[in-house]
Structure 1
Amino acid sequence: MELWTVGNKTIVWLYVIALTYFTHPAAERLLVLYFLLYLAMNLVIHIVKSARLKQGLIVSMIAYLLLCGAYAKPEFLLLLPLTFFELVSFFIRDRRVALVLVLAPMLFMTQSLLVHYGFIAAFVFFNYAMVKRYMERVNLQEDELERARLRQQRLDRQLNGNAEYAQASEYLVKLEERNRVAQEIHDGIGHAITGGLIQMEAARLTLRRDPKAAEALLSNAIAISKDGIEQIRRTLKDLKPPVEQLGLSRLRYAVEAYGSRSELLTTVVHEGNMETITPIQWKIIHENVMEALTNAAKYARASAVHVEIRVLNRFIKAVVADNGQGADKIVKGMGLIGMEERTAAVNGTVTADGAHGFVVTTLIPRTGGS
């Protein structure tokens, strides 16, 4: 806005200089000094930062123009609209009131200057109105930006609070699980081992004087130990999550994370008995799906990707389909070749279709990874 105001002042200043010298061909050389002094005062106004100092300089410049108009050339009064608008902009918000105050000096001007003064006043008024409207929009945008920044800070604090709560909840769940496992080991396995040790110690003490009783005690110790071993197996089985949960959960998390990073809308669905998928098969499916996701984000110009895992009678089928531009002819790159090689290791196949978006299908025999 400073450049806009300076440009308008320069236009009016040059217009007044031209009018003065065309009206008075034999103008005095001091007029150059007067105009340069006016220019210097304007530069000082734009340099200073204090609002009160600016107001004082503007009032001084008005007085200077009135003196020049009275004692040098009346054309100096044509520069008053610019200065008046600068002054009233500090105190008056209504543009119409400002225009009336700026036009008031026309009551005291000669007939020859009225048209020029009215033209300059109208020119300056419209520029003043445009600048005012622009500044109001800028202020509104700045206020909206500040409100958005405050909302962002509040959401960040909430997000941090939720993250801390999630971490605390996760830690609490881990503590509860540790406590449950410790209690289960103490109540089951610990008692079994303790009971077995007591039985074996009793058998050692009675072995010489009563072999039959010692044999019975050892049989009890063996039974208690077997029961303890079975409890250990059950506990480990309960602690270890099923293979299908590990594979599907890991795949779902990886797909959603990649979708968030690449701004893709992702969905993952499954059908059939996921327990039949072996770890090596899950590894191949995971790598093929992620490779297909990468291709969709880089080349397909897609906005959504659908991942589907199905366990059929004889095959395990993994499909990655996007809504991108597709391709009439599929050119195999390193990614697609790598998918084929990985899948071929378990006697599977990979097909790609670009008719409607890009669809990559991985088929693995159910016995291929056994």
Structure 2
Amino acid sequence: MNEIIDPASELVHLAGDDPVEDADMRFWKFLIVDDDRDIHKVTKLVLEGQAFEARKLQFLSAYTAGEAVQLLERHPDIAVVLLDVVMETDDAGLMLVRHVRSVMGNSLVRIILRTGQPGQAPEHTVIRDYDISDYKEKTELTSTKLFSAVYASIRTYQHLSGVLAAKETLEQRVRERTQELEARAKELQASIRQAYEAMMEVSVLEERNRIARDIHNVVGHTLTTAVVQLEAGKLLIEVDTSRAAGKMELAGQLVRKGLDEIRSSVHQLAGERETIDLRKDLERIVGETVAHAGVDIDCRIGQLPKLTFFQIKLICHALQEGLTNGIRHGRSSRFQFELGFLDSLIVFTLRNNGSAPPGVRFGFGLGALRDQVELAHGTLALEAAADTGMELRIRLPVPRSEMQV
């Protein structure tokens, strides 16, 4: 159907060269839908020149529901529709209301339903079942009531338009903020990944440093002892051949032990893991110390979870360092060694009956041991025992994933 607009409703610009979009901003689009042409003329006569919220009306006319649909599609910014109920059909106006709301999805436009046959569309039924702004009978719609109805509808349209604009602005800001947060999340993930990779590199370096210290401390201690035995053998070779041979044999054992330690550390640097029996290694250290130093050692080893290579090496080194220091500096003759697992911790305790110095100072060996324990996220304490002698305590945490007793 063709669009029909009354010539009297032609828009007159204040300045002939003003663009249409600027002119539209100064007018409210007002659609009259009625099959009676006189109704169009009277309505324009009453409302023309009136200002609503500082803007006048731009009149659009449709004489059937079909024409009204075309105009509403062409002008989605129509503010108010003055709609007749009975046109090409008895319920054409009501069907248009449903089409506008349900099919076109236009919830902003205000619809004033006007009818000359109220029996065809009872007011209480229409107000309840249809989304309209107002319901008027043509016989009661005076110029004042028409002005009031249009003014109220325009105010509502203006308010709803503002709410919709604010909603769209808020949604746009939410989308922009979401995109910004997603971008930051990606940056954070990349940063975390880089930090993780850096931590892995640091972890590898720490492991290698621990191995280097292990070679220096354990192997160095073993080989130093071997050298001492060799020197003693040299002095005894002309005095007591049998004792000299024993010293040489012991030196050979120590050298072989040092070589084993070096091989183990080299395997570790290469990323290999050896199957180490911690209990046997500890018992071996205790047995060798008893045999070579002539001391008594009470050794108690409880049930332990599965430990890492470094934890095993650290415990062995701690026992060896603790015994050596107790004999050399504390003149100890008796030791009590306990190793167990309690509350997710490896509990290492070594007590001796030696002399307790007035102030505990960590030498090179114990200082290196303390550093190794801290790198393993553990704690080390060396202090005078409750009764006599010194007590070395070490606590090493065991991750839950490794707690396989």
**Larger helix share, 1 or 2:** 1
**Larger strand share, 1 or 2:** 2
**TM-score, normalized by the shorter chain, greater than 0.5:** no
TM-score by length of 2: 0.30
Looking at CA atoms only, which structure, 1 or 2, has the larger radius of gyration? 2
TM-score by length of 1: 0.32
